[in-house]
Amino acid sequence: MEDTVTAAEAREGRAVAEDAVFDQAAEAAPQKKQKKPINQAKLQDNLWGWIFCIPLIVGTVWFVYICLVLAFMLSFTDYSAFSTMADGTQASIFKYVGEWAKHIMVNPSTGKTAPFYWYTWAFNNTIMSKTMTGTRLKEIWLYLFNTVFYMIGIPIGMILSMFFAVCMSRDIKGGNVFRVLYYIPCVASSVSIVFTFKTMFSQTGVMNSLLGLRGYGNGGGFQWVNLSGATDLTWNKIISDTGGKVTSRAAFMNESFWCQGILTKTVIIVMSVWKGLGGTIILYIAGLSGVNAATKEAAQIDGANGWTIFWKVTMPDLYPVIFYNIVTSVIGGMQIYAEPTLFIGESYITSGYVSLIYNYGIGSGVNSKPSQGAAYGMILAVIIFVLTMFQFWLDSRNKD
């Protein structure tokens, strides 16, 4: 009997042990993930989000990335929108892309294949000076100088917008009214703004009246933006009009690019700063609202004055906004086109670099060469890319 009980207990013990082993194995085995129920509201939000994003995505891919690739390919060819294909059909950009290798540019003077012909031509092309007979000037450097000159307004606008943003961020009456007033030029028509400034700085305009220059020279008033033929201003002419003697034969004194061009570009800078001030102010006000108030209070308790708090507390917190404004302003400044053109039309004296892209790529009508304009566009793209990467490099060094 004792042996029988002992055997039964042994069998029961083995069964318990086997159950324990199976339980451990089941726990060790990976559990199948249960499918979470689909959140219909979240799915609908995501769907509408993609619907609203699709136009932007399609537009960016088509008008930026695809066009960039096409422009890069065309810059090595002799493509013309008014040319005829070998089969007698009108040329189209898609036909040229399909037969890209057959249209690589050939140097007209040597007859040899020259894919970089338009790039070489861009840096070697010269134009005749208006005021210095027989003098030829490198066209691309004149237009690039104009573009860089206009960028003087970037630091001026940054400083002014920062000053006004700090003033408006204080708890003063009518602060929102001033924000609206400063932002109005941002939404105003560029044509109306240019017309207003041309009127203000005309020979009989309000600026000459305020500066006492209404009877200057021939009595018509100082020529801020007048570039009509032989009346182009030079520094020698200004000296002679004020009773001085003209003795210098230097190019700087006789070339209207260095006199009339500087004066007109200065007016355009003033207008551009005034027009873009409101948008930058809004960004700085938004940045100032995110400055750590506790840090400012701690600095005040430690005896720091307002100037120290601004430089040591406010400016570091505003750095992301400042960096964003600088990068976008430089990119936008390199692409300036409308304002100089609306002021006096196309002219090497005041036009920015983008005018070269338009003039050679589109503006010449039947003689236009989109491939030539594409080459100028690629040069500008490289310049902007290098400047942007340089700014990001400086930003990374500051963070280190």
Question: Tens of pLDDT along 236-256?
Answer: 777 776 666 766 777 777 778
Lowest-pLDDT range, 123-127, 170-174, 260-264?
Answer: 170-174
Categorize the per-residue pLDDT at 203 as very low, low, confident or very high, splitting at 50, 70 and 90.
confident
pLDDT confidence tier of residue 227, bands split at 50, 70 and 90:
low
Give residue 2's pLDDT band: very low, low, confident or very high (50, 70, 90). very low
Relative orientation angle of helices 315-334 and 370-399, to the nearest 10 degrees: 170
Integer Cα distance of 248 and 254 in angstroms: 8
**CA–CA gap between residue 234 and residue 231 (Å, rounded):** 9
- The first and second tokens of residue 8, run together, are 């039964």
The DSSP output letter for 189 is -
**pLDDT band at 229, cuts 50/70/90?**
very low
Q: Cα dist. 246→216, 231, 232, 250, 264 in Å?
A: 17, 17, 16, 11, 23
Residue 375 has pLDDT above 80, yes or no: yes
Q: What is the pLDDT of residue 101?
A: 74
Q: Is the confidence at residue 333, as pLDDT, over 90?
A: yes
Report pLDDT digits (tens) over 286-327. 888 888 778 888 888 888 887 888 888 888 888 889 999 999
Q: What is the mean pLDDT of residues 265-274?
A: 94
Phi-psi region of 261 (alpha: psi -120 to 50; beta: other; left: phi over 0): alpha
55-104 residue pLDDT tens? 999 999 988 899 899 889 889 888 776 666 555 566 666 666 666 777 78
- Give the other-Cβ count within 10 Å of 379's Cβ: 20
| Residue count (the chain) | 400
> Domain ranges in the chain?
40-124, 133-399
Tokens standing for residue 278: 């409101």
- Within 8 A by CB and 6+ apart from 376, the residues are 118, 122, 353, 356, 357, 360, 361
In sequence order, the 6+-apart residues with CB closer than 8 A to the CB of 103 are: 77, 78, 79, 96
CATH code for the part of the protein at 133-399: 1.10.3720.10
Are 384 and 331 a contacting pair, CB within 8 Å? yes
Question: 222: closest CA among 240, 238, 235, 236?
Answer: 238
The strand pairing partners of 127, in sequence order, are 137
Give the residue from 67, 64, 63 showing the smallest Cα distance to 373. 67
DSSP 77-121: B---TT-B-TTSSBP-HHHHHHTGGGGB-B-TTT-SB-TTHHHHH
Report how far residue 140's alpha carbon sits from residue 359's, in angstroms, rounded to the nearest whole number.
12
Q: How far apart are CA 386 and CA 388, in angstroms?
A: 5
